[in-house]
Amino acid sequence: VKPLLQSTTVDNLTSNNTNSNVLNVPDRLTTATNASTKSNYANLKNMSTKELNSLAREKKKLADGEKRTFEDVKQSMSLYLESVCYFIQCAHDEPILDQRTTLLSATLSMLQHLVYNYEKMFHIPANQSVDALNNIRQKFLLINYWLQSFIYQLQYNINLPAIERCVHQVTEYCSHSKSPADTNPSFLYEFSKCMLHSYQSNHYWNKAERLKREEPLKKFVEQLLRQNQNRRLTRDDTTLDFLLYIFDAIDLLRLTIA
């Protein structure tokens, strides 16, 4: 499946909204309560969108730095993923729909760029541990796929009002269209574009499901489950709960040793 082509990148986006928590989130911690999680929880709950945007950019800038060792690669991966989490929360809190959609699309493009270039971006000299590098790359891809799937789900949810407006017209059109050559009305195009988000969300979720069954990742997923009282990550989680789970996964990725 080809990635969506986006002309906007996260580096070109700004947010002028300074109100935090425009959308309500559960006022409780639902995942592991270690110090790192508490810190991430505080940031996600209390920072304004402007502060979240700034923090996300700062982490991305640090992640872009030169990588010469396994530790450099591990830190870069973690920072990229943390950056994405903060961009997602920033979009979640953004009250202007167009800006929210644009930020999610740009964040999605960032994740896709990381997937298609991860071997080149996360490379270390041959005399260092190849097995450890492959191990951490697999963990990185798993978290990346989870995040891509969740963003597509958010994009789909954002477009639900448009889907609901179109569904009757689409049903009528498909029921009475006499020929595939009939001119496609604009509502059919809009409906199809929205529904693709649902397809893409399932596609990347299934990629993650297949990947986590690979032997090197089984222990990683099992440990993540233990840290979260056997609660599995799902796309039905609130944005806050989903991101806290991802932060737990990033912390585990950081514990990978060469």
> pLDDT digits over 234-256, tens only?
999 999 999 999 999 999 999 99
pLDDT digits (tens, 9 = 90+) for 100-158: 999 999 999 999 999 999 988 998 877 667 888 999 999 999 999 999 999 999 999 98
Q: Is the residue at 80 inside a domain?
A: yes
Please indicate, yes or no, if residue 139 is contained in any of the structural domains.
yes
Alpha-carbon 81 to chain mean position: 8
Establish if 154 belongs to a structural domain.
Answer: yes
117 lies in which domain range? 32-158+209-254
The reply to whether 214 falls in a domain is yes
Mean pLDDT of the region 229-237 = 94
CA distance 243 to 258: 27
Supply the pLDDT for residue 21. 36
- Is there a domain that residue 40 lies in? yes
Each residue's pLDDT tens digit, 27-37: 444 444 567 77
**Distance set, CA 61 to CA 75, 80, 244 (Å):** 12, 9, 22
User: Within a domain: residue 171?
Assistant: no
Model confidence at 25: pLDDT above 50? no
For residue 150, the one-letter residue type is: F
Residue 182 backbone class (left: φ over 0; alpha: ψ -120 to 50; beta: rest):
beta
Q: How many domains does the chain have?
A: 1
pLDDT of residue 182: 62
Could you tell me if residue 53 is inside a domain?
yes
**Residue 7: inside a domain, yes or no?**
no
Within a 13 Å sphere around the CA of 113, how many CA atoms are in the beta-carbon half? 17
pLDDT at position 60 is 96
